[in-house]
Amino acid sequence: MAERKVSWRDRFGDEITCVRCLEIKDSTHMDRLLWCRECRRTARLRATRRGWAVGVVFAAALAAWIWVVVKPSDLVLGGWVATLVAAAWIGARVAREVFFGIDRFQNRRAAEAVPPGSGPPAGDASR
C-alpha cells in the first residue's frame, strides 16, 4: 500500500480564514500563505499598476539617455521606438514581479479586510 503524501492543507479543516480579507473560504481556494484567490488577484492587479508606472518611467529615462548620449539619427527611428516599447514592457514585467513578491513577503494581516458597516447595506431601505 502506497503512503499518501502529506500536504500543508492536512493541518487545516475544510474551511480556512483568509489572512488578507478575513473571510472564511474553502481550503481549495487558499494558497500556502493562506491568501484566497480574490486577494491574490487584487495584489497582482496592484502590482501590475505599480509595475507599469515603473516601466514607463524606465522607458522615459532610457529615451532621455538615448536622446542626450546616443543622439539617434532619423534613419533608424523605428528601431529606437521599438527599443523603448520593449524597455517599458520588460521593466513593467520585472517591477510587477518585484512588487508582488514584496507584498507576499510582507504578508500583512487583514490588509484587504473591509470593516463591518463600511460595505453596501444588506437590505435597501429606500424601496
Asked if residue 121 belongs to a domain, the reply is: no
Number of domains in the chain: 1
Residue 26 domain flag = yes
Q: Is residue 61 part of a domain?
A: yes
**What is the per-residue DSSP string for 25-47?**
EEGGGB-TT--BHHHHHHHHHHH
- Model confidence at 3, pLDDT cuts 50, 70, 90, reads confident
pTM as predicted: 0.76
With respect to residue 37, please indicate whether it lies within any of the assigned structural domains.
yes
101 located within any domain: yes
**Does residue 115 form part of some domain?**
no
pLDDT range class, residue 119, cuts 50, 70, 90? low
CA-to-CA distance for 19 and 58, rounded, in angstroms? 34
Per residue in 72-110, pLDDT tens?
877 788 899 999 999 999 999 999 999 999 999 998 888
**Assigned domain for 7 exists:** no
Residue 14 CB coordination number (10 Å): 8
Range of the domain at 18: 12-106
Q: Is the pLDDT of residue 49 over 60?
A: yes
